[in-house]
Amino acid sequence: MSINLSHFSAAVVFALFASIVFGITQRNSTMEQVKYGAYCFALFVGGVFLAGWVMALIRR
């Protein structure tokens, strides 16, 4: 079995699973867990876009 993911899709998959674990383990109530998981996911993916733009600007 071989999986070929692009850098972006690998980062999104990584963000998804890491956010689920962070949400469950770092908050107590269900709603807080969902909110914190979504917050972590947004930060992960936002960080990917930010880093991408920074690297693109440096490359110019």
- CA 19 – CA 7 distance, rounded (Å): 18
Site for other proteins contains 45 (CB under 8 A): no
Q: Which residues lie closer than 8 Å to 12 by C-beta, 6 or more apart? A: 45, 48
- Of 9-17, 39-47, 49-57, the segment contacting other proteins by CB under 8 A is 9-17
Q: Which CB sits closer to other proteins, 14 or 53?
A: 14
Number of H helices, E strands in the chain: 2, 0
Site for other proteins contains 49 (CB under 8 A): no
Residues at the site binding other proteins, with contacts judged by CB under 8 A: 1-5, 7, 10, 13-14, 17-18, 20-22, 24-25, 28-29
